[in-house]
Amino acid sequence: MAEASLKRTVARAFARRFLRNVLLPRSGNLATIFMLHRFSDPEHGGPGHAPEFVRQAIAWLRRAGFELISLRRLTRALSGEGRPIRHGVVFTIDDGYLDHATIAAPLFRELSCSVTIFPVASFLDGDVMLWWDQIEHLFRHTERRAVTLSLGTEETSYRWQTDTERDACQHALTWKLKDVPDEVRRSSIEQLAASLQVDLPRQPRRPYLPMSWEQARSLEDSLVSFGPHSLTHPILSRLDDGRARDEIEGSWRRLQSELVDPVPVFCFPNGRRQDFDDRAMRLVADCGLWGALSTEHDHVEDAPLDADPLARFRLPRFGFPNNMTDLIQIVTGVERFKQQLLGG
């Protein structure tokens, strides 16, 4: 047993040395930004990020020599301010659910790790239920086993018998509705409610509740910050100019009116490259915001931003994984190298 333990200790020490001296110096990335969403309850479980794995991941990142930094610190570094950073890791959380206030923020405070939460403003106002939660609610409460919807000029049908098949249909429809105009998505969800014979909830309800603005104000400090994420979480590239501007400017104004010092970085709803366009990036700039985050999977490069004036308005992020293997491959650049090999 002692010999096996010694071998593991030596192997871990070698791995850390290889990481610090070989992989990281060659990767050339300035920072990895992680995005998180829902958090599972440590006592009752449920879907979402497990707090214990977040603890494990942050402990490993520190041991491996990564610098855990705030989003604000990263923006200063990209602007050439403050001391240089190498191989930083930034944590962000999207949407502003209640579990972000009751589970996530206390967890990051416990770990002395900065995190930026991007709330959907009208969600925190209690005016809207997020549209993907509406879809889940409708599927979870129906007695029906089939539905046919008209998505613009296209008709699509879903059938299921088991809960697993139902959940697969729900996820398939949700992904499909990310790629249609905003008005088509709204009418499709209305159709879905009528077809499934379930009342469509307009305002948040359990288990889809937001944090309150009062909670957000109580959380805002040197470790927990907030940034704008639109008013209602639409796909900005599918809105007209006026609505796109209202969603961006309006969310920034709401944060400024409710909080002391919000981070001047916008978080694009959905965040794929097809979900925001150059117009949206310029609208963010017109608001006086420093930059914006996407959900394109890549590292933030150590390169001058003035080479591309819109580069800071599409900073990439990785989804936070649920296992150490994926986490290590992401932060070391191995995952990107694999994708480059597959793409090349």
pLDDT digits (tens, 9 = 90+) for 207-228: 999 999 999 999 999 999 999 9
Distance CA 102, CA 216 (A): 11
Mean pLDDT within 2-19: 52
What contacts 249, CB < 8 A, 6 or more positions away?
A: 283, 287
Q: What whole-number percentage of the chain has pLDDT above 90?
A: 75
Amino acid (one-letter) located at 177: L
Query: Which has the minimum average pLDDT: 65-79, 170-184, 296-310?
Result: 296-310
Distance CA 230, CA 234 (A): 8
* Predicted pLDDT of residue 256: 98
Mean pLDDT within 180-197: 93
3-state class percentages of the chain: helix first, strand second, coil last, to nearest 5: 50, 15, 35
Q: What angle do the packed helices 241-258 and 278-286 form, to 10 degrees?
A: 40
Q: Are strands 146-151 and 154-159 parallel, antiparallel or unpaired?
A: antiparallel
- The residue whose two tokens read 């409710």 is 258
pLDDT grade for 3, boundaries at 50, 70 and 90: low
* Predicted pLDDT of residue 9: 53
Query: Which has the minimum average pLDDT: 1-10, 111-120, 268-277?
Result: 1-10
Contact, 30 vs 73, CB < 8 A?
Answer: no
Write 47-51 long-range contacts (CB < 8 A, 24+).
48/99, 49/104, 49/320, 49/322, 50/322, 51/103, 51/107
CATH architecture for residues 27-127+210-343: Alpha-Beta Barrel (3.20)
Q: Are strands 291-293 and 265-267 parallel, antiparallel or unpaired?
A: parallel
* Predicted pLDDT of residue 86: 80
Mean pLDDT within 124-135: 96
- Domains of the chain by residue range: 27-127+210-343, 131-196
Q: DSSP labels for 91-152?
A: EEEEE-BHHIIIIIHHHHHHTT--EEEEE-HHHHTTS---HHHHHHHHHHH---SEEEEEET
Mean pLDDT within 322-336: 88
pLDDT grade for 304, boundaries at 50, 70 and 90: low
If you average pLDDT over every residue of the chain, what do you get? 89
What contacts 251, CB < 8 A, 6 or more positions away?
A: 120, 121, 228, 229, 230, 231, 266
pLDDT digits (tens, 9 = 90+) for 19-30: 554 455 444 457
Distance CA 192, CA 259 (A): 37
Q: DSSP labels for 46-97?
A: -SSB-HHHHHHHHHHHHHTT-EE--HHHHHHHHTT-SS--SSEEEEEEEE-B
pLDDT tops 80 at residue 339: no
Q: Are strands 115-119 and 88-95 parallel, antiparallel or unpaired?
A: parallel
317 sits in which H/E element: none
Distance CA 15, CA 160 (A): 47
pTM: 0.88
Measuring CA to CA, how many Å separate 22 from each of 25, 84, 101, 273, 299? 6, 20, 39, 32, 18
Contact, 128 vs 266, CB < 8 A?
Answer: no
Amino acid (one-letter) located at 307: A
pLDDT tops 90 at residue 8: no
Mean pLDDT within 39-64: 89
Mean pLDDT within 246-258: 98
Q: What whole-number percentage of the chain has pLDDT above 70?
A: 86
Contact, 236 vs 269, CB < 8 A?
Answer: yes
Give the number of other Cβ atoms within 10 Å of residue 328's Cβ. 19
